[in-house]
Amino acid sequence: MKLQDKVAVITGGVSGIGAKTAELFIEEGAKVVLVDMNAEKGKAFEAELKAKNADVLFVEANITDEEQVKNIFKETIAKYGRVDVLFNNAGIGRVQPTEDLEYSEWRNTVNVDLDGVFLVAREGIREMLKTGGGTIVNTASMYGWVGSPGSAAYNAAKGGVLNLTRSLALEYATRNIRVNSLAPGFIDTPIIPEESKEQLRSMTPMQRLGKSEEMAKAVLFMASDDSSFMTGNTLTVDGGYTAQ
Ligand SMILES: NC(=O)c1ccc[n+]([C@@H]2O[C@H](COP(=O)([O-])OP(=O)(O)OC[C@H]3O[C@@H](n4cnc5c(N)ncnc54)[C@H](O)[C@@H]3O)[C@@H](O)[C@H]2O)c1
């Protein structure tokens, strides 16, 4: 058991990569706080996991709202008393030519994919400092490393997450908080529209989409003591895309 009795907060924890990571963390002994703005899906997933005897709590929150983010940790501390692992994973993405991109849409994407990641990380760090440390994994994207047409806001935000990760890692390196990021390639989750899947598969050197389970294993490595000397870095798990 790699996370025995650890308390893990997972944003975007009721769908795709976050949900599979929640299941793996539970298998590895963790108590998991599922955070999402989708309350219906959240309550259903919480009930499904509880039926399998998992120790879980669902907290509804929009990660762009500072008070709601504070409440995630208030509820976590009330139930479990500490935060050992934070998988800072909720995000949105949309493809749109830049000449058609409204400023409000740019703001919305950067607000969720970068500002939200900061807000959640800050509150997580505040709690970890009280209890002697922890680990944080931020979900970036392979499009934090490289560019692509039609995703200016998303790619800028994800590039920001990679450097936010490095900066936080250095800031807390001597205070036992390790901060790393995951850079997924194209992963078969609800974020990818059905009609895009074939094109994205063919763009991937391994000629398939990744699975959420494959992301979860990389997240577990970074969240657990298996990566005890790794901080400020990124696992890029993309079927070879950024090797091109
Ligand atoms: N699937 C991919 O191909 C891919 C590739 C690279 C990076 N990512 C990143 O992985 C992360 C997880 O995405 P996924 O593929 O599992 O997608 P997903 O849509 O299945 O899951 C994302 C979850 O985040 C939640 N969410 C979105 N905005 C939120 C907000 N403001 N507050 C709270 N919750 C919010 C959604 O309700 C959803 O449950 C995202 O950060 C995404 O950018 C995904």
Q: Is 126 helix (H, G, I), strand (E, B) or coil?
A: helix
Residue 1 lies in a domain: no
Show the domain range for 179: 7-243
pLDDT band of residue 196 (cuts 50, 70, 90) is very high
**Which are the catalytic amino acids?**
154
**Cα(2) to centroid(ligand 1), Å:** 25
**Cα(126) to centroid(ligand 1), Å:** 24
Contact status, residue 243 vs residue 191, Cβ threshold 8 Å: no
**Cα(91) to centroid(ligand 1), Å:** 4
Does residue 141's CB lie within 6 angstroms of at least one atom of ligand 1? Answer: yes
Instruction: Report the distance separating Cα 27 and Cα 34, nearest Å.
Output: 15
Residue 112 lies in a domain: yes
Residue 179 lies in a domain: yes
- In the chain, the number of structural domains is 1
Residue-wise pLDDT for 44-68, tens only, equals 999 999 999 999 999 999 999 999 9
Q: Comparing 66-70, 90-94, 177-181, which segment has the lowest mean pLDDT?
A: 90-94
Residue 55 lies in a domain: yes
- The percent of residues in the chain predicted with pLDDT above 90, rounded, is 100
Q: Which residues lie across from 137 on neighbouring strands?
A: 87, 180
Does residue 144's CB lie within 6 angstroms of at least one atom of ligand 1? Answer: no
Residue 2 lies in a domain: no
Residue 24: give its domain's CATH number: 3.40.50.720
Does residue 34's CB lie within 6 angstroms of at least one atom of ligand 1? Answer: no
